[in-house]
């Protein structure tokens, strides 16, 4: 029995470490998840909250691999998992089916799936807590180590400055769900659904994508001025990519003199802006055939 309890404790620790790692390698997605779920009012506060939770999970995971303070750690695990689960139940009750961010972008889980996962982890935590003898050691070393690991996140994950990034509020796209445009390398096209030049550009890009194996991740911002729908635009151009609608003010802020306009983004910075010769730019920038 002692071996099985130790094995469950280690399994729980590995789970916390894996959860922290999946968020650590892509904190931006976790940040926008916190914003979309109403837990953070803006990207700056979301980044602070993300670093705290990532550090807390790392700390719990590391401590659970050691045969000390087990009963206290299980109690903390129960409180943490219980709080997360209550929030997930709320998301599930309002019909949220998006990736909850528990394992970042690495493993997509809906709130319901994560509730089931947390239920199993809560059961493991409760069992280990029940089967572990009382530990009279002071809780101060746990708090000190946890505090140091959480504080280290601000050194290991320096806060990016997104104040000049024009797409920081655009985090939801049809066909894709939550998207962090500030992470990695992406392309954003700004189109007016009724614009013939936009339709022509979309058709050319669709033809290029069809014969290119290394076509970049592309997202579309649509402004709907007339009667043309997204479905009609896609049928006309054979161009179907994750999209979001923007209002007239955002549209004119992004297009320059006239649409279409395409932005090349890299690590939260606007690398280039293209207003014409899109095919040439794509071929040269992404080394397409």
What CATH number is associated with residue 230?
3.40.30.10
**pLDDT tens digits, residue range 11-31?**
999 999 999 999 999 898 999
Query: Among the residues of 182-229, which ranges form H helices?
Result: 196-210
Distance between CA atoms of 152 and 154, rounded to whole angstroms? 5
Same domain, 223 and 146: no
Do 22 and 146 fall within a single domain? yes
Tell me what percent of the residues of the chain surpass a pLDDT of 90.
Answer: 67
Q: Quick one: 138 and 273 in the same domain?
A: no
Model confidence at 268: pLDDT above 70 = yes
Torsion angles phi and psi, residue 244, rounded to 5: -140, 155
Percent pLDDT > 70 in the chain is 99
Query: What is the Cα–Cα distance from 286 to 214, expressed in whole angstroms?
Result: 7
**166 within domain boundaries:** no
Residues 6+ apart with CB under 8 A from 158: none
The per-residue pLDDT for range 208-258, each reduced to its tens digit, is 998 888 889 999 999 998 889 999 999 999 999 999 999 999 999 999 888
Q: Please tell me whether residues 34 and 86 are part of one structural domain.
A: yes
Q: CA 49, CA 55: separation in Å to the nearest integer?
A: 10
Per-residue model confidence (pLDDT) at position 139: 83
Decide: 70 and 131 in contact? Cβ < 8 Å.
no
- The last residue of one of the domains, among 156, 189, 213, is 156
Say yes or no: 129 and 199 in one domain: no
Residue 161 in any domain: the answer is no
Same domain, 134 and 14: yes
Residue 258 has what pLDDT? 85
Q: What's residue 44's pLDDT?
A: 86
Inter-residue contact 228 to 197 (CB < 8 Å): no
Q: For the chain, how many structural domains are there in total?
A: 2
| Domain carrying residue 95 | 2-156
Same domain membership, residue 150 and residue 85 = yes
pLDDT single digits (tens) 147-156:
999 999 999 8
- Given 156, 183, 208, the domain boundary residue is 156
Mean pLDDT of 157-166: 79
Is the same domain home to 9 and 152?
yes
Is the pLDDT confidence value at 289 over 70?
no
pLDDT of residue 43: 85
Structure token digits, residue 113: 């799936």
């Amino acid at each position: 029995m002692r071996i099985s309890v130790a094995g469950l404790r280690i399994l729980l620790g590995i789970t916390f470490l894996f959860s922290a790692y999946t968020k650590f390698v892509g904190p931006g997605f976790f940040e926008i998840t916190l914003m979309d779920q109403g837990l953070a009012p803006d990207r700056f506060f979301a980044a602070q909250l993300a670093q705290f939770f990532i550090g807390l999970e790392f700390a719990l995971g590391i401590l659970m691999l050691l045969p000390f303070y087990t009963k206290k750690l299980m109690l903390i695990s129960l409180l943490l998992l219980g709080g997360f689960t209550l929030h997930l139940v709320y998301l599930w009750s309002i019909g949220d089916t998006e990736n909850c961010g528990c394992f970042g972008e690495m493993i997509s889980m809906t709130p319901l799936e994560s509730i089931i996962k947390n239920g199993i982890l809560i059961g493991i935590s409760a069992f280990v807590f029940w089967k572990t003898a009382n530990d009279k050691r002071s809780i101060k070393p746990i708090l000190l180590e946890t505090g140091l690991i959480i504080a280290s996140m601000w050194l290991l994950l320096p806060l990016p400055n997104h104040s000049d990034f024009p797409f920081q509020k655009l985090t939801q796209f049809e066909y894709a769900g939550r998207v962090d445009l500030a992470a990695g390398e992406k392309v954003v096209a700004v189109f007016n659904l009724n614009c013939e030049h936009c339709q022509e550009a979309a058709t050319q890009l669709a033809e290029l994508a069809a014969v290119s194996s290394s076509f970049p991740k592309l997202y579309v911002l649509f402004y709907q001025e007339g009667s043309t729908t997204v479905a009609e635009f896609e049928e006309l151009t054979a161009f179907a990519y994750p999209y979001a609608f923007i209002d007239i003010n955002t549209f004119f802020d992004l297009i320059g003199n006239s649409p279409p306009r395409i932005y090349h983004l890299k690590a939260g910075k606007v690398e280039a802006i293209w207003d014409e010769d899109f095919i040439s730019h794509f071929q040269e920038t992404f080394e397409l055939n």
